[in-house]
Amino acid sequence: MLSTPPSAVQNSGLQYLTSSTTSQAGLSPNQQLLPLTATVNSNDCLEIGGCDLTKLVEQFGSPLYILDEVTLRTACRQYREALARYYQGESLVLYASKAWSCLAVCAIASSEGLGIDVVSGGELYTALEAGVDANQIYFHGNNKSTDELELALKCGCTIVVDNWLELRTLVALGAQQQSQNQGIRIMIRLTPGIECHTHEYIRTGHLDSKFGFDPHELEEVFAFISQNQTLNCIGLHAHIGSQIFEIQPHKDLAAVLVDCLIKAHRYDLPIQELNVGGGLGICYTQSDDPPSIEAWVQNVCQAMVDACKQQQIPLPKLLCEPGRSLVGSACVTAYTIGSSKVIPQMRTYLAVDGGMSDNPRPITYQSVYRAVVANRMSAPLTETLTIAGKHCESGDILLQQAQLPKTEPGDILVVMSTGAYNYSMASNYNRLPRPATVLVNEGEVQMIARRETYQDLIRLDILPTGLAPARD
Active site residues: 392
Work out the burial of residue 259: count CB atoms within 10 Å of its CB; fewer than 13 is exposed, 13-18 middle, 19 or more buried.
middle
| Sign of CA pseudo-dihedral 107, 109, 112, 117 | negative
CA 269 to chain centre: 32
Alpha helices in 271-357 (DSSP H): 293-311, 324-327
Burial 307-328 (b: 16+ CB within 10 A, else e): bbeeeeeebbbbbbbbbbbbbb
Radius of gyration of the chain (CA): 24
DSSP state of 60: H
CA 105 to chain centre: 11
User: Going by C-beta distance under 8 Å and a sequence separation of 6 or more, which residues neighbour residue 86?
Assistant: 297, 298, 301, 302
Distances (CA, A) of 192 to 168, 245, 462: 22, 18, 47
- Name the amino acid, one letter, at 110: S
**Residue 76 parent element (H or E):** helix 69-86
Strand order in the sheet with 51-52: 39-40, 46-48, 51-52
**Residue 121 parent element (H or E):** helix 121-129
